[in-house]
Amino acid sequence: MDKQCNRVGEGYPSLCAVWKDPDFDAKQRAFYYVRVLENPVCRYSTLICQKTYDLNPLDPDHCSSNLATLPAQQQAEAAKCCSNETTTPYVQPVTQERAWTSPIWYSPSRL
């Protein structure tokens, strides 16, 4: 993702893998699931800052100088766009969502 929240790269159209549990014991119950990280995306508040105030939280060097050019009545609200780890409140401008599959349950068959 670039500083304007545009996706960089195409990603994968499909992901498929085969995995074998090296510790699998057919006599034991087991369950499996997959966790994945999605591509990073701009948080909704970052998009609002860019569209409403023309401020970019992803470019902190220019954010403060651009903030100073806004009318005084907008500066207080827009200042949140230029927050960082040293300010309160601080909202990360980028988020990376997690996803997981439904579990697969294994129960040994009774003989």
Q: Using alpha carbons, list the distances in angstroms from residue 40 to 16, 72, 97, 108.
A: 21, 33, 7, 40
What span, in angstroms and rounded, lies between the C-alpha atoms of 83 and 93? 9
Altogether, the residues listed in the chain come to a count of: 111
What is the model's pTM? Answer: 0.70
Q: Using alpha carbons, list the distances in angstroms from residue 78 to 38, 41, 70, 84.
A: 29, 21, 9, 13
32-47: per-residue pLDDT in tens?
999 988 889 999 999 9
What span, in angstroms and rounded, lies between the C-alpha atoms of 16 and 56? 37
Q: Over its length of 111 residues, how does the chain's per-residue pLDDT go in tens digits?
A: 888 898 887 778 888 889 999 999 999 999 999 998 888 999 999 999 999 999 999 998 889 899 999 999 999 889 989 887 777 777 889 999 999 999 999 999 874
